[in-house]
Amino acid sequence: MARAGGPEATRVAVLGGSGYAGGEFLRLALGHPRLHVTQVTSERHAGWPVTAVHPNLRRVSDMRFVSASELQDADVLVSALPHGQALQRIDELLALAPRLVDLSSDFRLRDPAVYERYYGRAHERPELLGSFVYALPERRRSELAAAARIAGAGCIATAATLALAPLLEAAVVSRTDVIVEAKVGSSAAGSVPGVASHHPERMGVVRTYAPTGHRHTAEIEQELPSSLRVHLTATAVERVRGVLVSAHVWLHDGSSERDVRSAFESAYAAEPFVRFVTARSGHHRVPDPKLLDGTNWCDIGWQLDPDSGRVVVMAALDNLVKGTAGHAMQALNLALGFDEREGLGFVGLHP
């Protein structure tokens, strides 16, 4: 059974492929016309068929998980290890392939002091911070071209940065503080169960798990103008997939709805995976993560309160695709010189 691509395809190995992020990247890679998946690792499931863990891949792949000790050279290594593990093995990983895509948070930040502040420990390899390109193609496209090291962005950070960047760069925002509220599905917590994800605890929940201090705050502030202060609150909701960010900013006096629209159109009109949701009527007039399950879209909408000058910008995406594996695939396409849309054509379902 074909594992992806043709005989000239780029060889890709996935490290830690039994988790949600690794499994999602594997799904995308198996459908990519120019990638060939050579190995997928899992220590817990070594020897098992990939389909025993990812049943959606039945009749798509006959691969079996192998131990990381069995990894062979590849053109690209995608690390989907839990946060902190790629950092501990980074020299080994860099030696396995000329290109490394790390989906964890280990190399997203550039400042060691900021990393220590948000992660509560010093970074073990601070000299490597800044050597990875942040995988947000809408912001880092030129740097991603031919990049050898790619750091996947956080899902909330992706949505919030895409929501805020156009207005901030158009200089229509009057305050340097912005308020961001994120609602997040359960898969963002990963595949390893915990007390908070136990079904009786998660069922029916609308739980604010990070009123302040969420780690993605550091990424958002890193990717936006340096004078910005982000106040982020994250709430768990009863969905498996999805992030919905609502960002609140205030415009300068005299700014209008036309200025807001112009800022977003200037930034994203040509972007292949950003859509504007601006309908004036109907129940689909604002972004909704449900419509984005499995897709690499980020849907953005906004509404201006003319009395206060406050704009609410809403950005929705699938946290496992555009929020993790999808933007990593998009970034990898750019690094390899492919069309960035390759392997990312699924448009979603309705209803």
- Which amino acids are annotated catalytic? 155
Measured in whole angstroms, the distance separating CA 192 from the mean position of its chain's CA atoms is 19
CA distance linking residue 178 with residue 4, whole number of Å: 44
Alpha helices, DSSP H, located in the chain: 20-30, 50-53, 85-88, 90-96, 112-119, 137-144, 155-169, 199-202, 216-223, 257-268, 326-336
Beta strands 99-102 and 76-79 are parallel
CA distance linking residue 277 with residue 289, whole number of Å: 12
In this structure, which amino acid lies at residue 158? T
Report CA-CA distances (Å) from 215 to 48, 117, 188, 296. 34, 9, 13, 23
Identify any residues that bridge with 343 across adjacent strands, giving them in sequence order.
none
Q: Counting Cβ atoms within 10 Å, is residue 299 exposed (0-12), middle (13-18) or buried (19+)?
A: buried
Collapsing DSSP states into helix, strand and coil, what is residue 85?
helix
Is the bond into 225 cis (omega within 30 degrees of 0)? Answer: no
Instruction: Transcribe 307-347 into DSSP letters.
Output: TTTEEEEEEEE-TTIIIIIHHHHHHHHHHHTS-TTTT----
DSSP 180: E
Instruction: Transcribe 11-37 into DSSP letters.
Output: EEEEETTTSHHHHHHHHHHHT-TTEEE
Collapsing DSSP states into helix, strand and coil, what is residue 276?
strand
